[in-house]
Amino acid sequence: MNGAAKQGQPLDSTVQIRDATKTFGCGSVVTFQGLNLAVRRNEVLCLVGPSGCGKTTLLRCINGLIPLTSGSIIFRGQEVRRPNPAMAMVFQQFGLFPWKTVWQNIAYPLRLRRMAGGEIRERVDRYLKMVGLESFAQAFPYQLSGGMQQRVGLARALATTPDLMLMDEPFGSVDAQTREVLQAELLKITEKQRQTMIFITHSIDEAIALGDRIGVMSARPSKLVELIEVRIPKPRDLTTIRALARYNELRQHIWDLLMSQRQPRGREVS
């Protein structure tokens, strides 16, 4: 029996969130409360929920950047207590080093892992190609559009071949057309690499397009209202799936769930 099974973690899950609660301000702000969720190996789990319900906070707890107030997060059979290099996080704001070239930005976490030079070169070139930026290897971030910068962020995370990718509204700050292009690229990459991923978004369409399952969170103190199996086969084509009855049924259902959670003020869900 391996370590994960011994500790009661289902063998097909990468991360397990058990009865997790996170509060701020000596308990005055309760983000999520008593949250239970297991992320299956190789799945893309999308999370949607009202602004301020604690989605970013949850990712930061999973990543070990901040501790839970109570409960536990188990990653590969071990309780998360500090950042783990087997996870990679991509944020809405690209987070690139402005003084490093595209190539150096992607290489940076690999150098931190003390990877051999040849392996770094091979990986950086491979992932640059995967996101279509081979000809921008020597460019600096300020010379790139927002969509291109986000591709660099994506390549940098993927190049570490993480067991778990944590994506916090990664396409939230690019225009609508670029967003669709990035979604299609990410879909292709995740279908090819079977990358386990938690993907936070405010867009229902994005969640359906990318997700194998979609977790809908309630307003604070938040809970998982429903965990929905998307059941639209992959590979997916973004244009054709929109015509499916299942797509529209999901869209309406998630919309209704989110509307029932709406607070008087907050960011709209599109």
CB nearer to Mg ion: give 39 or 58.
58
User: Bridge partners of 20?
Assistant: 35
Neighbours of 72 (CB within 10 A): 13
The option from Mg ion, ligand ATP, none interacting with 137 (CB < 5 to 8 A, set by class) reads: none
Q: Which of residues 23-42 bind ligand ATP (CB under 6 A)?
A: 24-25, 29, 31
Part in contact with Mg ion (CB under 5 A); list of ranges 50-58, 75-83, 215-223, 250-258: 50-58
Closest separation between CB of residue 60 and ligand ATP, Å? 8
The DSSP symbol for 33 reads -
Q: Which of residues 125-154 bind Mg ion (CB under 5 A)?
A: none
Here the contacts of 97-102 (C-beta below 8 Å, separation 24 or greater) are: 97/141, 98/140, 98/141, 98/142, 99/140, 100/140, 101/137, 101/138, 101/139, 101/140, 102/128, 102/133, 102/136, 102/137, 102/138, 102/139, 102/140, 102/141, 102/144, 102/152
Q: Which of residues 46-65 bind ligand ATP (CB under 6 A)?
A: 49, 51-57
How many positions of this chain bind ligand ATP (CB under 6 A)? 13
| 192 close to 24: Cβ distance less than 8 angstroms | no
Closest separation between CB of residue 167 and ligand ATP, Å? 12
CB nearer to Mg ion: give 102 or 169.
169
The answer to the question of residue 270 lying near ligand ATP (CB under 6 A) is: no
User: Bridge partners of 13?
Assistant: 40
The answer to the question of residue 56 lying near Mg ion (CB under 5 A) is: yes
Applying CB under 6 A, which residues contact ligand ATP?
24-25, 29, 31, 49, 51-57, 267
